[in-house]
Amino acid sequence: MTVVAVLGMGLMGRAAAGRLAAAGQEVVAWNRSPEALEPLQGIDRLSATTDLAAAIAPADRVVLWLADGAAIRSVLLEGVIGALLADKTVVQMGTIAPEESRAIGAELTALGCDYYEAPVLGSIPELSAGKLLLMVGATPQQFDRDRAWLQTFGPEPLLVGPVGSAAALKLAMNQLIGSLTTAFAASLALVQREGIAVETFLQILRPSALYAPTFDKKLQRMLDRDFDRPNFPTKHLLKDLDLFTQAAGSQGIETAPVQAVRAVVERAIALGLGNTDYSALFEAIAPVTEPQP
Ligand code: NAP
């Protein structure tokens, strides 16, 4: 029986650990802060610890659901844990830059690890149901070996290319999350302020070539200004737009439109909405206006 260590019990790591245990795998869940381990008590085949060495030692696979590249470095590469990683497979599933993934991969490989990346599109509901879209940056041999295991998370993992390529594809997707959401929020705001029925707006939009399913997914939250219980928090969107800008800028791609979206995300965070759902971009685009006396 293989043992999987899942590092990072944030929104996605917790769901991933639960999914693996439900699929019959032995899981050791690790988190820096103990509070995040409390909801994991009493789950079959799952143990939880803040002791990193105890989590990694029994594991064959180490799955990373940490916030960013800096967190991965501080957990795996800046302490004394490196020696424990030899002969283990490290699977990086968070959203980091292609350059970060290549550099982390090279350092882990030098420690004797087998490293690849498998960032995802989709969030907690898709992860819990095993329906994520998995983009894999790996060798064909790593992909063939782990394909069935990766299907625990999503039905059709796709081999994109070597390490770094899937990280870049993931950033291309998340740039769309920011840009589409901002664009929809701006149009919705104008429709509302002009007194046009929202349903009329959508009756034209839905059958048109301009429609994206994410609009309907986020509509109700925007209408209700209900941004609580996030699946994907606004602060991570800011991180991903910065990573996109860095990666695209280094390829000579114009990033001015993304900078404009970034300014909206930053405004939402300044309004205290960094830890809420990213549909909160609507609040930054169309703040509630006080009725005139
Ligand atoms: P999250 O809820 O913010 O969790 C972040 C995790 O990283 C926490 O376990 C946190 O530990 C840990 N962490 C942060 N800095 C650390 C450090 N310096 N040392 C050790 N641990 C550290 O994030 P998430 O939503 O689960 O996302 C995780 C990754 O997946 C991110 O890269 C995100 O962009 C990506 N992603 C998220 C979604 C989504 O829908 N949420 C979807 C696709 C991809 P503490 O509890 O100790 O702070």
CA 199 from chain centre, in angstroms, equals 31
- Tens of pLDDT, residue by residue over 27-37, are 999 999 999 99
**Mean pLDDT along residues 123-143:** 97
Look at 81 and 172; give whichever has higher pLDDT: 172
pTM of the model: 0.96
- Tens of pLDDT, residue by residue over 234-278, are 999 999 999 999 999 999 999 999 999 999 999 999 999 999 999
Q: Which of 9, 38, 65 to mutate to test the pocket of ligand 1 (most atoms within 8 A of CB)?
A: 65
Q: Strand 133-137 to strand 158-161: parallel, antiparallel, or no bridges (unpaired)? A: parallel
Q: How far apart are CA 183 and CA 173, in angstroms?
A: 15
Please state the atom number of ligand 1 nearest to the C-alpha of residue 236: 34
Instruction: Compute the mean pLDDT over every residue in the chain, rounded to the nearest whole number.
Output: 96
Whether the pLDDT of residue 66 is over 80: the answer is yes
**Ligand 1 site, residue 66, Cβ cutoff 6 A:** yes
Q: Which of 6, 9, 11 to mutate to test the pocket of ligand 1 (most atoms within 8 A of CB)?
A: 11
Q: Predicted confidence band at 233 (pLDDT cuts at 50, 70, 90)?
A: very high
Q: Where are the alpha helices (DSSP H) in the chain?
A: 11-22, 52-56, 69-72, 98-110, 124-128, 140-150, 165-193, 198-205, 213-224, 234-249, 256-270, 281-285
Contact at 8 Å (CB) between 30 and 164? no
